[in-house]
Structure 1
Amino acid sequence: MQILFKTHYDQDIDHLAIRGERLRILGALALALAAPLLIDSYFVGELSIFLVYILAGLGLMVLIGFSGQVSFGHSAFLGIGAYCHSVLLGQGVPFVLSLPAAALLAGLVGAALGRAASKMHGFYMAIATLAFAIVVETILGEWTGVTGGHMGLEVPPLAVFGVELGEPWQQYYLILAVVLFCIWGVANLMRAPKGRMMIAVRDSETSARSLGVDIARVKIAAFFVSAMLTGLAGGLMAHLLFYISPDTFGINESLKLLLMVIVGGVGTITGAIFGAVFVTVLPVAIAFLRDLAPPSLADVAGLEQFLFGGIIALFIIFEPAGIYGRWRKLRLFFETYPYYKRATFVRQKRYLKTERFK
């Protein structure tokens, strides 16, 4: 087992204090940078979608994992970001302005939703965010003069400073740079006072209030950051889809984002990455199972939603720490073998259960 001997105070704020973690991250970065040189352009496009889901999962992780607020309608912010970015590009606004503007609009809408939902908890917040997603999808479908309605909207080509990025590898590197910057930003946010306030509110609102934390303001800030990251992901996703419609950002997409956070590991940035891998591979696995299953089962409507819900329930019951939690257990087993103890990871409640303020 690796022991950390701290020799200066800067080690307390290092993002990657363990040498093994630094090596794994460097290896993953090297592989990500070399991927377009090693695989076909089709798979480069699939990797770009994977990166976008990392960004969207990171946004939802800020809300659920770091501030303890549940959302069943985060696909609405994907749609807001995608449509706002596409409409602004169609009006001649440059990419470097339209993408941040779309993210900012999604963040402001998220802050407004957070203000309305700051007094809600649990089931009531889940229903409120679900209703919000339905309202946004309806508006996108009915506002034909701007969004094109249910006929959809064509996304203008991606061009940065007048240079059109039409090749998959060009878009991949652009999205990779945005995702890495956002991961770095969220990692620093969680070490900043505002991020520590979010974690305090997540763990115990009563304790956070007794320390002088403004609960409502922290929740609104969490909604703002979460929606802004998800809207940014929606703007990038629009270029990968080429053509967007309201159905693209429906309830199924919200379930996929929620599945990604729960399965990956709530409360960790790495969990968002693991969850993105899972939801990227899952549709392929479902299609493979449909081919193997009898027609009476393969043709059942709603099979994908049923599997999403079943997987979420199974992970909550049997592995609440997600894939990242299982990876930590496996890593500790090899680090401490043969002294590993089965009781090291005793299942317990993740957050302190306290009386919440109304």
Structure 2
Amino acid sequence: MRRAAVLRPLLAWTLLLALAVASLGADFAFGQATLVVTYAIAGLGVVIIVGQAGQIVLGQGAFVALGAYAQALLVQAGVAPLPALPIAAAAGALGGALASLPAGRLGGLYFGMSTLAFALIVEELLVRWESLTHGAAGLVVPAFGLAGWTAGTPAAQAAISLAVLLAVLAVCARLLASRLGRAWRAVREDEAAAAACGIAPAAAKLRAFAVGGALSGLAGGLYAHWIGFISPEQFGLVFSFELLMLAFIGGTRRLAGAAWGALVVVAMPQLIAVLRDALPGDWARSAGLELMLFGAVVVGVVLLRPQGLAGGSGR
């Protein structure tokens, strides 16, 4: 039963990739697959924080930005990309830990708004600290390389991203089965009951944000290499909301939800491009078409599959 549960998604993803290669071309299909996998790694951070620890996070893009800029600055300073990735993850973890500090005094929507404020602060720092980040001009990031080999093709980039995603999924699965994962779920269900059982809710939340931030920072480090150029506006509030919608569309209670949600979020712009060709002129030129379509997808998932595309137990 367990083997079938693993094989079915793998077969589905293999079939989707084969269809994409046949219809869109290999380079474009593998390029989109790289984005899907990278978004999925970042989305895992939201799944940990929102789905497992039960906290509202509205500024996940800030953790991705911290990882991307840490990776870019380290590589520019002469550090090899592979050893720089753990430092990028650490930068995201530090951001997550800092964003979780108000959790001791705030809860619910008020705490979510504090994470939004943290994201705005990070974006403003990246813009203003021009001597380090080059501000709005951004940073050019070289291709990912290892021991003289460079991941210069979309297929190579997709393979590296997939290897990282599989490793991260294995680590997250072990975490959720551990005492820490049980503490997160206890805090999610009832903080008072968790505290009565000897669990420190504030400490559990901090660890959830640190782990979620580390995953997003790791995704940011990879994203910087795949895109080749980063600037503060890439990691604004829209990006944070995309990651949040990604988790809810895929399912916040299961790790696989990050992958299915990432597929929808990355495929959406392509669907919008097709719709613009088919819609009348005024509708095709509408600036809010993307947000409207995202909203329709979220509403559809909530009504037809409340547990997300990956399913899961409990509401």
TM-score, normalised via structure 1 length: 0.81
Which residue of structure 2 lines up, in the alignment, with residue 285 of structure 1? 271
Which residue of structure 1 lines up, in the alignment, with residue 64 of structure 2? 78
Identify the match of residue 79 of structure 2 among 93, 102, 107.
Answer: 93
d(CA) in 2 for partners of 1:304, 1:109: 29
Look at both structures and tell me which one has the larger radius of gyration over its CA atoms: 1
| C-alpha distance after superposition, 1:315-334 (max 9, x if no partner) | 44553211223xx7xxxxxx
d(CA) in 1 for partners of 2:70, 2:181: 28
- Equivalent positions of 1:33-182 (< 5 A) are 40-182=26-168
Which residue of structure 2 lines up, in the alignment, with residue 320 of structure 1? 306
Task: Give, as a single letter, the amino acid of the residue that structure 2 aligns with 1:20.
Answer: A
1:33 to 1:47, Cα distance in 2 relative to 1, 3 A? closer
d(CA) in 2 for partners of 1:297, 1:33: 31
**1:183: Cα distance to partner?**
0.4
| C-alpha distance after superposition, 1:201-234 (max 9, x if no partner) | 1111121111110110000000000000001001
**1:292: Cα distance to partner?**
2.7
Does the 8 Å contact 1:255/1:308 carry over to 2? no
1:24 matched to 2:27? The reply is: no
| C-alpha distance after superposition, 1:36-90 (max 9, x if no partner) | 9986122111111111011011111000000001111101111111111001000
Task: Give, as a single letter, the amino acid of the residue that structure 2 aligns with 1:144.
Answer: E
Partner SS state of residue 188, structure 1 = helix
d(CA) in 2 for partners of 1:262, 1:53: 14
**Structure 1, 66-75 or 18-27: larger mean CA deviation:** 18-27
d(CA) in 2 for partners of 1:126, 1:287: 33
Task: Give, as a single letter, the amino acid of the residue that structure 2 aligns with 1:159.
Answer: G
Which residue of structure 2 lines up, in the alignment, with residue 262 of structure 1? 248
**Structure 1, 165-174 or 88-97: larger mean CA deviation:** 165-174
- Structure 2 unaligned blocks of 5 or more: none
TM-score, normalised via structure 2 length: 0.91
d(CA) in 1 for partners of 2:287, 2:36: 26
1:231 matched to 2:221? The reply is: no
1:287 to 1:273, Cα distance in 2 relative to 1, 3 A? same
d(CA) in 2 for partners of 1:201, 1:95: 37
Does the 8 Å contact 1:118/1:219 carry over to 2? no
d(CA) in 1 for partners of 2:208, 2:274: 38
**1:302: Cα distance to partner?**
3.7
**1:133: Cα distance to partner?**
1.3
**1:277: Cα distance to partner?**
1.3
**1:239: Cα distance to partner?**
1.1
1:199 matched to 2:164? The reply is: no
Partner SS state of residue 287, structure 2 = coil
RMSD: 2.5
d(CA) in 2 for partners of 1:22, 1:316: 25
Does the 8 Å contact 2:66/2:220 carry over to 1? yes
Percent of aligned positions with the same letter in both sequences? 37
1:131 to 1:274, Cα distance in 2 relative to 1, 3 A? same
d(CA) in 2 for partners of 1:158, 1:19: 34
Does the 8 Å contact 1:54/1:276 carry over to 2? yes
| C-alpha distance after superposition, 1:161-197 (max 9, x if no partner) | 3322222222221111111000000011000000110
